[in-house]
Structures are given as C-alpha cells and as structure tokens.
Amino acid sequence: MNDVLGHLFWIGGVFKVTAQLVGPILVKTIINFAKAHATAKEAGEEPPSIGPGIAMTIGLFFVVILASIFQHQFFWRSMTTGVLAHAALTASIYQHGVRLSGKAHTTLSNLDILNHILTDVSRIDNCAQWFHAAWTAPIQVTVCLIILLTQLGPSTLAGFSLFVVIIPILERIMAGKHKTRGVLLEVLGSMRVVKYFCYEVPFLKRIFDIRDNELQGIRKIQHSQSAKSPITLEFSLPVLASTLAFVTYTRVTAGFDIAIIFSLFSLFQLLRQLMMFLPRALSNITDARNAVGRLQKCFHAEVLTDVPFLIDPTQGPALDLKEVEVEPVDEQPFQVQNVDMRIPRGTLAGVVGRMSFSFLPSL
C-alpha cells in the first residue's frame, strides 16, 4: 500500500506538521509592538513607525490562512488514502478469495473473508485518517514546550503536567469506545450470518462486557459535571492547563507581561488537537496492526495455480437466444415458444419461477 499510496499519504503528514506554531510567536511580537507604541506615547516620545506592526498583522493573517489550508489538505489526503486503500483491499480480497484452493478453504471460510472485508479493511481505513496524529503529536508537543519554557520559564511544567496525566485516561476511554463500535459494525455487517447460525447471544455478551469496561473507564473521570465525557474534557483541558500555568507564573514571577500571557493561551490551544487526535490515533493504529496481520494470512493462503476460467474481452453477448422453444415432457402445461433473449456480458440476470430448474438446463 505504501508503494501505491505513499506519496499521497506522506505529503498529508508534512502538511499536518507544517505552519502550526508560527501564529503564537507573531501574536507575542504584535502585542510587544503595541506596548512599545503605547509606552512611547505616554512618555511623550516619538512612537516607532507603524509599518512593522501592519506588516506583522498582515503576516499573521496569511499564516492563519496557510495553516487552515494545510490542515484541510492533511484531512483530505489522509481520508482519500483511507478510501482508496479500502477499495483496493476489498477488490484484492474478493479476487484472491475466488481463487482459493480447497485446502485453503478448510482454514479460511467465506465467513472469514466477509469479516476481513467488513471489519479489518475498515480498521485500516480508519487508521489512515488518524495515523499522522501519532507521529506529529510528539513534534508539536516538543516545539510547544520549548517555546513555552523559553517565554514562560518553569511555570510551563505545571500546566503541561496536566496533559501528561489526562492523555492515558482519554486513550483508554477512546480504545473502549472504538472496540465497542467495531463489534457493533461486525454484528450489523454480518447480520444474516448472525441470524442463520443463532450467534445473537455470544455477540450480545461480548458487546455488554466491552460496554461494562468502557463505563468503568468513564466513571473514573466523572469528578465533576463539566468532565462528564471525554469530549468535554478534550475542550476544557487546554483552558485548565493554561490557567494552571498562568497561576504558577504569577506566583513565581514579579512582573506581568500580557504578551507572554496571550502567547501562552495560543500555544496551549494548539495542544487541544493533541488531546483530540492522539488517543484516537493510538487506538486505531493498534487495531489496524492486528487487522494487517489477519489480512496477511488471507493473502498468503494457497490459491489455484491454473486459471479457473478464461475471460475473453472481445466476446459479444453472454447469452443470445432466438426463437427458442422449451416443452418439458413431465410438465405438459408448461411451454416456452418463440423466446428471444439477449444478455450482454457483465450483466447479472436471473430466472425466477417454479419451472426455472427445468428452463435453465434446457438452455
């Protein structure tokens, strides 16, 4: 898959990690310029030229536009890669499945092939959408932490420690949610098989057990009404972390620099994406890795060496009947006379009725 879709996929990762950290630095520079301009006016001195301030403001505007474009390119490329991989794997599994040998069918049934298409391929599709968040998040965290330590000092560690404590909890909760969703999709996608073989009770037991474990994980973070779900915690955590770092900064630092404070809030807001994407990414990568291992067994299964059937692209109609008459001996009332039928190649057609078993062999 990397040979076919790698170019599209990895460029999306480059877009993800680029042009995300310049904005807060420009915000601090603009605020410092405004402070210097206001201080010079109050002191009766000549204020600095307004040109650099206008240039920095225009630069901040283009940085925000560029970051938005790169973010949308990341989502588009990663999701497109997932969809293309989903289609390619589904077609490959189907093509490989119809050529399995009799020995391979003893260990790889049609139900297993169906589960590979419905479950494992979907997990690889989801992993393609969230994979970049797993390797770009450490880069983003490292750069943000370096900038915060440079501007804010050791007070940054107070707010950053809150991220370190909460990430494992969110990862565990998102893993439980993803596992529950995977089992539900497996049951719904194979509902006919579940009904035929009466698998309702085992599947329900699995779903209820996973749901109980998920609820136990959610209860561990229900310390207040605002932290009732992981989604609420994802959005509130940057505010809590920046507030904790801000309080620590005011307690250990004599001065108060508003430029540093606004830059602090902007940088902690960038870490919100880490809290939203990293738990999902780690959970999806684990599921996709297991899915790839199961698909390897399918693709490495023994297949028929000879071509089971030949396809002639230049062939005309698959079935061409002209003035056909069918009159079974044991069913005198049934007669087919002067039937003209033309079925093109690649068309799915069926004969429905009580006498279809007599009509088809007569063709």
Q: What is the mean pLDDT of residues 227-244?
A: 59
Tokens (6 digits) for 58 = 């225009």
Name the segment(s) of the chain with CATH classification 1.20.1560.10: 2-299
Average pLDDT, the chain: 72
Q: What is the mean pLDDT of residues 320-339?
A: 69
Q: Smallest Cα–Cα separation from 20: which of 76, 73, 95?
A: 73
- Whether 254 has a pLDDT exceeding 80, the answer reads no
State the pLDDT at residue 93: 87
The string of DSSP codes covering 6-73 is HHHHHHHHHHHHSSSSHHHHHHHHHHHHHHHHHHHHHTTSPPPPSHHHHHHHHHHHHHHHHHHHHHHH
Tokens (6 digits) for 163 = 């991220």
The residue behind tokens 């393609």 is 128
* Of 221 and 129, the one with more pLDDT: 129
Of the chain, the percentage scoring pLDDT greater than 90 comes to: 0
- Of the spans 1-5, 110-114, 189-193, 329-333, which averages the highest pLDDT? 110-114
Residues ≥6 apart with Cβ < 8 Å to 129: 75, 78, 79, 82, 284
How many residues appear in the chain? Answer: 363
* Of 181 and 124, the one with more pLDDT: 124
State the pLDDT at residue 232: 53
State the pLDDT at residue 175: 54
State the pLDDT at residue 22: 56
Q: Smallest Cα–Cα separation from 172: which of 279, 98, 259?
A: 279
pLDDT confidence bin for 313, thresholds 50/70/90? confident
Q: What is the mean pLDDT of residues 72-85?
A: 87
* Of 350 and 249, the one with more pLDDT: 350
pLDDT confidence bin for 225, thresholds 50/70/90? very low
Q: Say which amino acid occupies 221.
A: I
The residue behind tokens 């536009």 is 65
Q: Smallest Cα–Cα separation from 230: which of 161, 169, 183, 286?
A: 169
pLDDT confidence bin for 228, thresholds 50/70/90? very low
pTM of the model: 0.56
* Of 238 and 338, the one with more pLDDT: 338
pLDDT confidence bin for 180, thresholds 50/70/90? low
Domain 2-299 coded CATH 1.10.10.10: no
State the pLDDT at residue 356: 63
Q: What is the mean pLDDT of residues 56-75?
A: 81
